Amino acid sequence: MELSAAPPAIFLVDIDAFFAQVEQILQPELKGRPVIVGGLVTDRSVVASASYEARARGVKTAMPLAQAHRICPDAVFLRGNFHAYARFSREMMDLCRRYTPLVEPMSLDEAYLDVTGCRRLFETQGIISAGDAWPLEAADHLKRTLKREMDLFVTVGVAASRLVAKIACDYAKPNGVAYVKPGYEAPFLAPLPLKVLPGIGPRTAERLARYNLHQVCDLVRIPPAMLAAHFGPAAEVLAARARGIDSSTVNADLGDPKSISRETTFETNLIARDAMLAMLYYLMERACRQLRDDGLLARTVTVKVRYADFLTEGRSRSLPTFSDHDDDFWPLVSQLFSKVYTRRVGVRLVGVTLSHFGPNGRQMGLFDETAYRRRSEFYRSVDGIRKRFGFSVLATGRSIELLETHERDSNGFKLRTACLSR
């Protein structure tokens, strides 16, 4: 008789109030106090992260800082330390990989883990005991390890699918563990509002409400043919998700990034063209450094400008061949900026994105090889110095102009909102 395959065991690990919690770890005097990350009270910005002490007072993510201050005037407002957040994120992901090699980061503070094949290893290491609830024991062990080694509170959702693990994680927040045993997905989902299902946004929820469909169990009761008549091809996916069915797997091999972006919002709206070009050079420089660190070459560069009235303009151009050199991309960046900055309106944000990646090698003309090799050696030297002594030890190109307007630390110029997107 053949033994049936073990059901999948999927974790979703989510760091609670990530930015705010890291600040409380780095500054122990902030523990127990309402902390809001996103800017100072006087900044024209929104809440990026709020501690649960602040959330209990009504502060929410994306809320304007001025409104957050009215609600919670005694909160500590911080602009944030994005390099510290990236470091905590890397350490959290590395710790998760002790439990399984199948770790798929979804953001800085969130990752899926597939521990389906790890049961025997966990038993050998004494992480779990015998029994069907072993995924719950393993999740709790991981949660306690993150707290012990990194002082991080996390929430873990456990289920046989990514979909249900995500919903279970949301259900268990903050600082909890929720396990939906295989076969119990439908009862778990039944009383929940339809908005918990991916793909049901406000507009779809409004359409469903017209038919008196408000909870997941309401959707399960609708015959598939009737659902398809009103929602078309999406009906089949909705019906499957309402039953907790999700065939997507945890993909630990995400490959290379699709793009590398760097952007920042200014303290005040800028109208000085030279100041914007200096910042664009610095952002491009950071993106090219990441390109070289990842062993990639790019061909396309995009420049983005967001005006004070939030109108956003962007243009792209491509090099004739792939490169990872600042000097190759800068002429395109400056030309694109001239095309997107066309209004007599202040600018609140600028950004640079490198994309269209190719293999780490490029086709060159007969007389270009020597010059390209020399420039590559130059960039290797610059990157090596910065890696050893900090990025700010050298200022190059137009970014030298920022020395008069921006403070620096070992990570580079202190920007109000640094971008860590890939």
54 contacts 34 by C-beta, under 8 angstroms: yes
Residue 420 has a pLDDT of 45
Please indicate whether residue 2 is annotated as part of the active site.
no
Residue 421 has a pLDDT of 43
- CB neighbour list of residue 358: distance below 8 Å, 6 or more residues apart: 297, 298, 299, 322
For residue 353, the Cα-to-chain-centroid distance in whole angstroms is 16
C-alpha 305/C-alpha 330 separation (Å) is 16
DSSP conformational letter for 33: S
Residue 62 has a pLDDT of 84
Q: Would you call 381 exposed, middle or buried from its count of C-beta atoms within 10 A (0-12, 13-18, 19+)?
A: exposed
Kindly list the averaged pLDDT for each block of 10 residues, start to end, along the chain of length 422.
69 96 96 92 85 95 91 93 88 95 91 94 88 92 96 96 95 95 92 87 82 85 78 77 87 72 86 94 94 91 91 92 93 96 91 84 56 88 90 88 85 67 42
Determine the residue type at 63.
M
Query: Across-strand partners of 323?
Result: 298
Catalytic residue, from 110, 185, 267, 285: name it: 110
End-to-end CA distance of the chain: 49
Residue 210 has a pLDDT of 84
Residue 237 has a pLDDT of 80
C-alpha 281/C-alpha 395 separation (Å) is 11
Domains and CATH numbers, the chain: 1-182 (3.30.70.270), 187-242 (1.10.150.20), 259-413 (3.30.1490.100)
Residue 422 has a pLDDT of 42
Residue 232 has a pLDDT of 75
C-alpha 175/C-alpha 44 separation (Å) is 31
165 contacts 115 by C-beta, under 8 angstroms: no
Half-sphere exposure of 161 (CA within 13 A, CB side): 18
Structure tokens at 67: 């409104």
